[in-house]
């Protein structure tokens, strides 16, 4: 059974959880720019009760906005080398199956990454499907309670602020990146690194927040 949720410009088709879907996906994207351009890197970690598996994809594109390149450091030329010339459509079936099979997808600023995923799948006339989402940026806003400059309410935490609060340090993330993706010498604003940072942070905070632990335990219960 499917139902639809309105996400602004595009519509997300959310499938009802099927038996055997006990896997959480932590994912991050690097892109050509804002609102929405193209995804140039997609990294995600599939966490089940007994294991965690990392997947990393690079996608060739023709143009990257200078402002975006300044953040992630990936040029069109470098991307051609990293991707081997392959595009999103070359991996779409595999990505679709993984996300569809998960019980929960996790991202930091979920709506941003979602808009790009929807655009990529719409470009190949395919629906992007997932069961349920969890936005670490929004959830932890009222845990960290970082004041806005205006003094009114709390601001959304950056991923770096969240990892620091959770006592997850860059060397912890680097070790996870190496173990999960076989990559080294990376930092924030690389999708492998950011997905690993989210994965470690959520699992660290599960030890401190009973409701969070209960929620995630139910999603990966065998």
Dihedral sign for Cα 11, 117, 26, 140, please. Answer: negative
25 - beta bridge partners?
A: 46, 105
Work out the burial of residue 142: count CB atoms within 10 Å of its CB; fewer than 13 is exposed, 13-18 middle, 19 or more buried: exposed
| Residue numbers of the domain that contains 64 | 2-219
* Angle at the Cα of 43 from the Cα atoms of 111 and 130, rounded to 5 degrees: 50
Q: How confident is the model at residue 21 (pLDDT cuts 50, 70, 90)?
A: low
Tally of domains within the chain: 1
Q: Is 209 helix (H, G, I), strand (E, B) or coil?
A: coil
Torsions phi, psi for 20 (to 5 deg): 95, -5
Per-residue pLDDT reduced to its tens digit, 191-220 = 999 999 999 999 999 999 999 999 999 998
154 - beta bridge partners?
A: 147
| CATH, residue 105 | 3.30.420.10
Per-residue pLDDT reduced to its tens digit, 97-142 = 999 999 999 999 999 999 999 999 999 999 999 999 999 999 999 9
* Average pLDDT, rounded, for the chain: 89
């Amino acid at each position: 059974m499917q139902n639809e949720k309105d996400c602004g410009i595009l519509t997300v088709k959310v499938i009802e959880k099927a038996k055997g879907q006990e896997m959480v996906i932590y994912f991050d994207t690097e892109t050509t720019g804002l609102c929405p351009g193209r995804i140039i890197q997609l990294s995600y970690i599939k966490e089940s009760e007994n294991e965690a598996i990392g997947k990393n994809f690079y996608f060739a594109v023709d143009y990257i906005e200078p402002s975006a390149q300044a953040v992630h450091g990936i040029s069109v030329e470098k991307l051609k080398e990293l991707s081997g010339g392959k595009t999103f459509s070359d991996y779409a079936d595999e990505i679709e199956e993984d996300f569809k099979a998960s019980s929960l997808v996790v991202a930091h600023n979920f709506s941003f990454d979602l808009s790009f995923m929807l655009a990529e799948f719409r470009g190949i006339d395919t629906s992007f499907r997932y069961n349920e989402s969890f936005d670490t940026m929004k959830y932890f806003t009222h845990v960290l309670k970082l004041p806005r400059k205006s003094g009114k309410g709390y601001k959304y935490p950056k991923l770096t602020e969240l990892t620091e609060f959770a006592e997850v340090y860059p060397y912890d993330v680097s070790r996870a990146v190496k173990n999960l993706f076989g990559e080294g010498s990376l930092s924030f604003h690389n999708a492998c690194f950011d997905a690993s940072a989210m994965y470690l942070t959520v699992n660290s905070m599960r030890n401190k927040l009973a409701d969070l632990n209960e929620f995630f335990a139910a999603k990966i219960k065998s």
